[in-house]
Amino acid sequence: MNTRRWLAACLLILALAALTGCFLLGNREPEAAFVVTYDVDPANPLVVDLDASASSDPDGDEIVAYSWVFGDDVTIITPMETTKTVSEPVLRVRYDVEGVYTVTLLVRDSLGNSSLPVMHTVMVPNVPVGPTE
């Protein structure tokens, strides 16, 4: 009889862990990720999209904030926000001058956990290198 109770208790714990997430691991931090898309404005090669839609959370929590870190030499085009923390995963920016820049992203999930920062280098304008003769 004790074996049945022990087995029932184990099954109950496993069912609760499956439904609510494993309480032994706690809530894990989200993972920031983004790509840079060039040539989004044919009239201005200094405009790029920063797309963080690949950011994720291992617990399945919603990503609610994308915090971008870059210098003052960039203008946010969309979304029209007053801060560099936005709720949209895609940010369109315009750099003031040609050059190589570092962009950093942190994301926050719906439970308030923040990711580790992830960095990429942006080179504007993006001049494709072709084969040489």
- Predicted confidence band of residue 27 (pLDDT cuts 50, 70, 90): confident
> What's the pTM value of the predicted model, to 2 decimals?
0.74
User: What pLDDT sits at residue 105?
Assistant: 95
Chain mean pLDDT for the chain: 84
Output the CATH code of domain 24-124: 2.60.40.10
User: What pLDDT sits at residue 102?
Assistant: 93
Round to whole Å and give the CA distance between 26 and 10. 19
Dump pLDDT digits (tens) for 120-133: 999 998 876 556 55
User: What pLDDT sits at residue 3?
Assistant: 79
Identify which has the larger pLDDT, 2 or 127.
2
User: What pLDDT sits at residue 111?
Assistant: 94
For residue 70, give every residue at least 6 positions away whose Cβ sits within 8 Å of its Cβ, in sequence order, or none. Answer: 84, 93, 101, 102, 103, 104
Dump pLDDT digits (tens) for 38-80: 999 999 999 999 999 999 999 999 999 999 998 888 888 888 6
Contact yes or no for 121/102 (Cβ under 8 A)? yes
Going from N- to C-terminal start, the domains of the chain cover 24-124
